[in-house]
Amino acid sequence: MNNSDVADLYLNLGLSYCESKQYDKAIEHYEKALKIKLNIFETNHSDVARSYNSLGGSYYNNKQYDRAIKYYKKALNIFEASYKEIALLYSDLGNYYYKNNQWDNAIKNYKNALKHGLDDANSVQINIANSYNNL
């Protein structure tokens, strides 16, 4: 069993405690999982975000709302960064398909980029229109 497996075990124990409304024990196990995850992964890794989210939920259920919001915001910051990276990847894939005259695939990927909140939406919308024109 590696460290990631141990962290997942703590997360599952935390979930069990949370479901049985033993929030203090859930928090204790989620914190152990988070500590391991932070030693394994970078601070912006989705597994770290999930640990923050689990902690936020336990603090919320334990009526410790200030702590809950702190962890929810940490998780949100990580997920938002990942979301923007996904949007950029879809846009890049769309550009590839566009350059290779694969209009249907270009349109599909550009739409996914927009769905994921791409910052440069105007140029993507122009590329979608051009792709439709080339069909």
**What percent of the chain is modeled with pLDDT above 90?**
50
End-to-end CA distance of the chain: 53
- Sketch the domain layout of the chain as residue ranges: 3-63, 83-134
Give 126's pLDDT tier (boundaries 50, 70, 90).
Answer: confident
Task: Measure Cα distances from 99 to 93, 103, 110, 118 in Å.
Answer: 10, 9, 13, 20
Task: Read off the DSSP letter of residue 43.
Answer: T
Task: Read off the DSSP letter of residue 41.
Answer: S
The owner of tokens 């640990």 is 51
Instruction: Convert the pLDDT of each residue in 6-55 to its tens digit.
Output: 999 999 999 999 999 999 999 999 999 999 999 999 888 889 999 999 99
Task: Note the pTM of the prediction, 2 decimals.
Answer: 0.69
CA–CA separation, 85 and 87 (whole Å): 5
